[in-house]
């Protein structure tokens, strides 16, 4: 189950409106709606805020649990399967990335997707040049691969229910 579906189910269970949650989190209701429709993926800091507000563990949102009660019983090791990947810069889609070191945010990425990659980082897209492939504010995870040659650029986009 994706974040949006879990959030919607939790709001229904707690009899809370999207508007009320938006007010508590100090965001606009359209942002909550985008998360619920999976038009946008949340940042780690937002997942933590939502979990605290709705009184569920963060693991409820990042693992395949159907109910908050089940999530409470799951051991911390499940959360340890994930790593915070730093979003180091932002760039317009289709532009060359220059060696940026500015820390901007963090995202949750399952460690299994990082195996064998020595240099992995994330960038935030700040333009709408590549819609519908890459939307504005999408996170682009970059994994350098020594097998590629001549400056090849490869982009992989995936939308799985269990995360990246």
Burial class (CB in 10 A: 0-12, 13-18, 19+), 141: buried
Domain residue spans of the chain: 3-74, 80-143
CATH 1.10.1370.10 fits 3-74, yes or no: no
For the stretch 123-133, pLDDT in tens is: 777 777 777 77
Q: With a cut of 90, say whether residue 21 has pLDDT above it.
A: yes
Give me the chain's average pLDDT, please: 70
| 145/69: higher pLDDT | 145
Position 8 scores a pLDDT of: 92
pLDDT band at 71 (very low <50, low <70, confident <90, very high): very low
């Amino acid at each position: 189950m994706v974040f949006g579906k879990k959030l919607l189910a939790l709001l229904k269970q707690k009899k809370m409106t999207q508007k009320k949650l938006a007010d508590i989190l100090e965001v606009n209701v359209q942002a909550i709606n985008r998360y619920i429709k999976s038009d946008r993926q949340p940042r780690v800091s937002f997942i933590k805020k939502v979990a605290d507000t709705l009184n569920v563990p963060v693991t409820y949102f990042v693992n395949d649990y159907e109910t908050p009660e089940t999530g409470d019983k799951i051991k911390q090791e499940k959360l340890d399967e994930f790593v915070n990947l730093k979003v180091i810069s932002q760039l317009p889609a289709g532009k060359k990335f220059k060696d940026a070191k500015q820390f901007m945010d963090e995202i949750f990425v399952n460690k299994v997707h990082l195996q064998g990659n020595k240099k992995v980082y994330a960038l935030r897209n700040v333009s709408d040049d590549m819609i519908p492939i890459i939307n504005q504010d999408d996170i682009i995870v970059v994994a350098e691969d020594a097998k590629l040659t001549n400056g090849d650029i490869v982009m992989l986009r995936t939308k799985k229910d269990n995360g990246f």
